[in-house]
Amino acid sequence: MPQESITAAAARANLSPSQKAQVDGLQKLLDSHKGLLALPAPVAQKKFQSLPQDQQTAHVALFGGQDSEAPEQKRGWLGSAIHYTGEGIKQSIGRVFGALNEVSDFMTRVHCVS
């Protein structure tokens, strides 16, 4: 379905021949990627290795490399500050709710015993 929407969008956009060639190349790359994903891992690896080097490079550039690579965090100084202070705030709020839960449980037990 995404293939049809890409092709339809490209047709409606009145692209230049070079832009149409880029869209066609992207479509072929997506089809190749879906084909590799449908195969068992060892077979897909062999098929990937048999692709021309430029196609291998295009696959890695568009879809990423090894799964073991950690994604790069892209935070600015403000985003980092919010991230790290937010963790402390979340833990503090969690402790308050935990304490309130204990008090509520205690009051329930006292009320039931009376």
pLDDT at res. 69: 56
pLDDT above 70 as % of the chain:
88
Q: What's the pLDDT score for residue 18?
A: 84
CA–CA–CA angle 34, 37, 41 (5° rounding): 155
Count of the separate structural domains present in the chain: 2
Residue 70 lies in a domain: no
Domain housing 30: 1-65
For residues 52 and 83, membership in a common domain is answered with no
84 vs 1, more confident: 84
- pLDDT (average), residues 60-84: 72
pLDDT, residue 87, reads 80
Co-location of 1 and 53 in the same domain = yes
Per-residue confidence (pLDDT) for residue 1, from 0 to 100: 46
